[in-house]
Amino acid sequence: MSEPSGLTRLFLKGRLRHALTDREVEVLDSLIERTERVPDGHVVQARAVEATRSTLLLDGFIARVIDDEGARNIVGLQVPGDFVDLHAFALKRLDHDVVTIGPALLGYVSHSKLQDIVRNEPHLTRVLWFSTLLDAAIHREWILKLEQLKAEERLGHIVCELWHRLNFVDLADTHGFNMPLLQTHLANACGTTAVHINRVIKAVRERGLLEINRGRVTLPDRPELERFSRFNPDYLYGKGSLYLGDDFKDS
Amino acid sequence: MSEPSGLTRLFLKGRLRHALTDREVEVLDSLIERTERVPDGHVVQARAVEATRSTLLLDGFIARVIDDEGARNIVGLQVPGDFVDLHAFALKRLDHDVVTIGPALLGYVSHSKLQDIVRNEPHLTRVLWFSTLLDAAIHREWILKLEQLKAEERLGHIVCELWHRLNFVDLADTHGFNMPLLQTHLANACGTTAVHINRVIKAVRERGLLEINRGRVTLPDRPELERFSRFNPDYLYGKGSLYLGDDFKDS
DNA sequence: ACTACGGGTTAACAATTATCAGTTGCACGG
DNA sequence: CCGTGCAACTGATAATTGTTAACCCGTAGT
């Protein structure tokens, strides 16, 4: 089950992974106690329930969801390599649900093992901390997007973000990427309605910037889409971005 | 300068502070190396600049700001007791600016001292981690608010949030609270324009739910405003909330 | 083959919010 | 005292988005 390649090989790939020593990578891999394949709509971690483990997303997509009077609202998305509820380790109970979109492969890490990391591995602890704050940086960009952009730009923005995040883990190609999100999900994540997102998808397609069908997203002219959506990938802390320096050489 | 009461006495007050031992409180207080009074608009930590210290907000208000083509957009607010750029310790460089709104009193903590904490104080480390994730939880609620609510409800929501957060640190009273935010700032944080927020303020005032003038916010009927704004304070992880259990007794 | 269903699509109309172009009121410096 | 500047406020109009109510089109099941 735990191959030489390592179950955690996508964790922070394209970001801070290079700051990990070989030993730390081994420690990380040894954390995963069990993997599980789960179906669409599986609740990985429910809000308000005391968490005793955290989950690495090995394959598939996951949404952070907050219920608001019956409606399920997406407040975040996760892609393979993301430690989807690592923050449940520090928070103990989440304020939201973590739910799969489409089937997914999960790897579980008990909090007692994380506890050992915090006690014995200061550098690794800091890297784990970093990874939870990466989500917060993405949250902030979503806030900006929702405050500032109109629906067409929001759609472009989220698509660009997904492309970059998938590209970090080698799941995107120059022409686009695969994803299981329905128009409903995109609408939800863009703070608009299914009807409107449909119009918007059409409009952006007619600009020649974006194709979405049957789980496949095509970006005929990504640079132009990024310009159009006022997208700048720096906030993703990718290698070479403005915000990811060489500051992790030291402990 | 460092009184017996302690400069960090507001940190996590009303939340996890009770999980700290007396010794840990002492350690925390010893972190503050220097305090400084700064004017309105002071940049506490600039984006993309390598951070060597973090800042505790002792008095005043602070905004998290992202520039987008000249416009400064507020993506978060901080109140006294908040460790406003603690996440710069794990991230090293921030994706946004941290800026005072009105004059403020700051307390500085060097990252080398935080480094010592991470090495020697696993429980305190986890509490600090918790405090950064609290901001992420607030980010998520803002995302929900921007996705779901209309301007009147957004305004009510942000005001309710501020009341609760200030109440944790004893800076709110039953009738309201003081704050230096202008209508421009509120508009910004609600993802709307100054013109529109002005109309919205008027409308909510006419409902008898809210008064805002000259830095004073009055809430004649807070429970009703919370209902109106679909506000539920659980996400603030206050004592007694659904999400803050007794899970921190252990290390 | 027929039906049910979920997701995508469209049109007409209504509600919300942005934009533009001001006015008012107050505080401050000269 | 006057002028300047900033914040608050307002009206008219345009743009964006929401709502409602459909229809289309595959796929799965009977």
Ranges of each domain in chain B: 17-130, 150-229
DSSP, collapsed to helix, strand or coil, labels residue A60 as strand
* pLDDT beyond 60 at A149: yes
Residue A1: predicted pLDDT = 45
Report the candidate in A185, A15, A42 with the shortest Cα–Cα distance to residue A106.
A42
Q: What is the helix (H) or strand (E) element at residue A73, kind and residue range? A: strand A71-78
Residue percentage of chain B with pLDDT more than 90: 92
State residue B112 phi and psi, 5-degree precision: -65, -35
Contacts of A143 in chain B (CB under 8 A): 75-76, 139, 142-143, 146
Residue A111 contacts residue A54 (beta carbons within 8 Å): yes
Report the candidate in B92, B105, B9, B7 with the shortest Cα–Cα distance to residue B50.
B92
Single pTM value for the model: 0.96
Residue B97 contacts residue B43 (beta carbons within 8 Å): yes
The reply to whether B130 touches chain A by the CB within 8 Å rule is yes
Token pair 């010592």 is found at: B116
Nucleotides of D under 7 A from a protein CB: 7-12, 16-21
The b/e string for A179-210 (b: 16+ C-beta within 10 A; e otherwise) is bebeeebbbbbbbbeeeebeebbeebeeeebb
Distance in Å from D3's C1' to B71's CA comes to: 29
State the pLDDT confidence band at B1, using cuts at 50, 70 and 90. Answer: very low
Dihedral (C-alpha) A138, A57, A53, B28: value to the nearest 10 degrees?
-30
Residue A71: predicted pLDDT = 86
Distance in Å from C3's C1' to A153's CA comes to: 40
- Record: contact B148-A73, CB cut-off 8 A: yes
Residue B102 contacts residue B40 (beta carbons within 8 Å): yes
* pLDDT beyond 80 at A2: no
Q: CA-CA distance, B139 to B145, in Å (whole number)?
A: 10
Please tell us whether the domain made up of A150-229 is placed in CATH 1.10.10.10. yes
| Averaged confidence pLDDT in chain B | 95
Calculate how close chain A gets to B51, using CA atoms only, in Å: 10
For B124-162, what is each residue's pLDDT tens digit?
Answer: 999 999 999 999 999 999 999 999 999 999 999 999 999
Residue percentage of chain A with pLDDT more than 70: 97
Please tell us whether the domain made up of B17-130 is placed in CATH 3.50.50.60. no
Calculate how close chain A gets to B1, using CA atoms only, in Å: 31
* pLDDT beyond 90 at B247: no
Question: What residue has its CA nearest to the C1' of C15?
Answer: B150
Residue B68: predicted pLDDT = 86
State the pLDDT confidence band at A183, using cuts at 50, 70 and 90. Answer: very high
Token reading at A154: 């929001």
For B98-133, what is each residue's pLDDT tens digit?
Answer: 999 999 999 999 999 999 999 999 999 999 999 999
- Record: contact B237-A91, CB cut-off 8 A: yes
CB atoms < 10 A from the CB of B175, how many? 12
Q: CA-CA distance, B192 to B200, in Å (whole number)?
A: 10
Residue percentage of chain B with pLDDT more than 70: 97
Q: CA-CA distance, A48 to B97, in Å (whole number)?
A: 32
Contacts of A87 in chain B (CB under 8 A): 133, 136
Q: CA-CA distance, B32 to B153, in Å (whole number)?
A: 39
Strand C proximity list, CB < 7 Å: A 182-184, 194-195, 198-199, 201-202, 213; B 150-152, 191-193, 195-196, 200
By C1' distance from the Cα of A40, the closest nucleotide is C6
SS3 readout for B78-145: ECCCCECCCHHHHHCCCCCEEEEEEEEEEEEEEHHHHHHHHHHCHHHHHHHHHHHHHHHHHHHHHHHH
Distance in Å from C8's C1' to B124's CA comes to: 52
Calculate how close chain B gets to A172, using CA atoms only, in Å: 24
State the pLDDT confidence band at B2, using cuts at 50, 70 and 90. Answer: very low
Token reading at A224: 């132009």
Q: Which of residues 66-105 of A touch B (CB under 8 A)?
A: 66, 68-69, 71, 73, 75-76, 87, 90-96
- Record: contact B96-A140, CB cut-off 8 A: yes
- Mean pLDDT to the nearest integer, A224-236: 97
* pLDDT beyond 70 at A182: yes
Token reading at B80: 């006294």
- Mean pLDDT to the nearest integer, A157-173: 98
State the pLDDT confidence band at A5, using cuts at 50, 70 and 90. Answer: low
β-strand partners of B213: B216
Residue A101: predicted pLDDT = 97
Report the candidate in B208, B209, B206, B215 with the shortest Cα–Cα distance to residue B186.
B215
State the pLDDT confidence band at B214, using cuts at 50, 70 and 90. Answer: confident
By C1' distance from the Cα of B198, the closest nucleotide is D9
